[in-house]
A and B are shown apart, each in its own frame.
Chain A
Amino acid sequence: MRILRNISFGQYIPRDSLIHNLDPRIKILSCLAIIVSLFLITKFSGYLILGCFVLISIIISKVHPKFVFRGLRPLLFIIIFTLIIHLFMTEGEVIYQLGFLKITREGLVKGLLISFRLFILIITTSLLTLATSPISLTDGIERLLSVFKFIGIPAHEIAMMMTIALRFIPTLLEETEKIMKAQISRGADFESGNIFNRAKNLIPILIPLFVNAFRRADELAIAMEAKCYRGGEGRTHYRELKIKKTDILTFVLTIVITITVSVMF
């Protein structure tokens, strides 16, 4: 039941670096560009170049690589699993045999390629969330999405929902812990039993959480109205997003690299 206390929400680690100071829209778009090119690349050298690009960005961001790799840990299982599937399930020239399990050359190549892809995908998105504050991210997403307002995408509403969710996650975590302790104190057991029992045992936590969440939402809506909230019309922004020279240069560099790599490799 160890819930993180006193640690700021999210992976964001504040630093004064080139990457941190970039406009969030540029960062999001660059990230997307890298991810798209990851799926277009077919050769190792392509991944190597992109990988170096991302690693250099990590160094520039002054965030210690250990934080980046920490993001890998929960997904390590998936990477290894994918690798194994490809190693043993691909048809082709057998290079190693263990009983009835065959490892093929094609399988090795494919497996490694896909693992690399996943690896770079994860460290790229990790870098994005490590070097961009949650507010910045939601601001960036809102501005980018508002381009699509004409086809009915509610950019402002989406951003507002994200902000409120981010704001309340630590509060809800604390509340969950309190409710768990209260229920344990009257005999609830969250540890023993099979998977069905454990799911049922979550009801004394989920229902109070839901009921409280609805009440919160209600009170929050009233408080927002009292502060003159009436939707996205006519709203100004406290935080300005300005595109600077560094943003343009970085974006151009990223696009050039990703396109070159996708085409050549």
Chain B
Amino acid sequence: MKDQIKALDSINLEIKKGDFISIIGSNGSGKSTLAKHMNCLLLPTTGDIWVDEMSTKDKSKTWEIRRKVGMVFQNPDNQIIATTVEDDIAFGLENIGIKTELMRERVDWALEVVEMREYKKSEPHLLSGGQKQRVAIAGAIALHSSYLVLDEPTAMLDPRGRKEVIDIVKKLNLEENITIIYITHLMEEAVESNRVIALDKGKIALIGKPEEVFTQIEVLKQLRLDVPQITELALRLNKRGIDISPHILKVEDMVESLCLYI
């Protein structure tokens, strides 16, 4: 085939149940492509992807995998298909043939988890971006997915909306034990996860805990990614001889460290 572009190159990755991982990278790094492989929207040219010991290449398992791996996309509007919130959350349940009485329970539960109970009967166009994304999340978890992949869910939201989404995602991970795969290019969101993977041109460039990854400022800059201001400050001060840890991610930690020197 002419003009083949290797979107993903030799990715080896293991994600454990209960993990909260972020995948960061600039546009074109392959993060969206990687996300779509996790629920059979895309199939690998070579290699395999296993979800709970089911291969994504096994056509008979596609729907089972899609039920287990919920997905939330970037555009809040283009994921909502029904005319009310509750109907939209029920959409996935209708697709897999859940009985009507059980559906009501699931819809109510999902609404409760994403804290949108008062909006059950609302029409989508009257909701804010953050509310729409929460509806999308509810629609995904209503299927009782054990994994949730979020592909830049806050890219089109304002700061308030972003906070709504990331708070719910953290809650899903901590309280409902849902494994989260969160794709973003915003550092302040990636720091919330417990493992960060940085992609560059389809390859894994960095992998580790947030404090390990975000302190690699030179690499991050080469990957054309943002560096948290406070981490960069820590690194610079450390280079200038001030004995503070270069692994600082939070403002409070920096303040505590600097108090000893000023």
**Chain A directly contacts chain B within the complex, with at least one CB pair under 8 Å:** yes
Q: Which of B63, B77, B83 has the most CB of A within 10 A?
A: B83
Known contacts A219-B73, A236-B98; A228 and B125 CB within 8 A of each other: no
Known contacts A163-B81, A238-B86; A226 and B100 CB within 8 A of each other: no
- Within the complex, the shortest CB–CB distance from A173 to chain B, in Å, comes to 9
Residues on B with C-beta less than 8 A from A216 are: 77-78
Binds B, one of A115-123, A146-154, A164-172: A164-172
Instruction: Count contacts on B: residues with CB < 8 A to the other chain.
Output: 41
A238 to B139 Cα, complex, angstroms = 13
**Does B2 sit within 8 A of A, measured CB to CB?**
no
Interface SS of chain A:
helix
A171 touches B95 (CB 8 A): no
**Does A224 sit within 8 A of B, measured CB to CB?**
yes
Residues on A with C-beta less than 8 A from B79 are: 219-220, 223
Residues on B with C-beta less than 8 A from A230 are: 63, 95
**Does A191 sit within 8 A of B, measured CB to CB?**
no
**Does A265 sit within 8 A of B, measured CB to CB?**
no
- Within the complex, the shortest CB–CB distance from A153 to chain B, in Å, comes to 20
**Does B237 sit within 8 A of A, measured CB to CB?**
no
Known contacts A135-B83, A167-B124, A226-B66; A219 and B78 CB within 8 A of each other: yes
**Does B146 sit within 8 A of A, measured CB to CB?**
no
Interface residues of B in 84-105 (CB under 8 A from A): 84, 86-87, 90-100, 103-104
- Within the complex, the shortest CB–CB distance from B166 to chain A, in Å, comes to 21
Would you list the 10 A-B pairs with minimal beta carbon distance, nearest first? A238-B90, A227-B92, A219-B78, A170-B125, A223-B79, A226-B71, A228-B95, A234-B97, A229-B95, A167-B83
Contacts from B to A (Cβ < 8 Å): 39, 41, 63, 66-67, 70-71, 73, 75, 77-84, 86-87, 90-100, 103-104, 107, 123-126, 136, 139-140, 143
Contacts from A to B (Cβ < 8 Å): 6, 8-9, 134-135, 163-164, 166-167, 170-171, 174, 215-216, 219-220, 222-230, 234-240
A-B contacts, 11 listed (Cβ < 8 Å): A6-B126, A174-B125, A219-B75, A219-B78, A220-B79, A225-B66, A227-B70, A229-B92, A234-B96, A238-B94, A239-B87
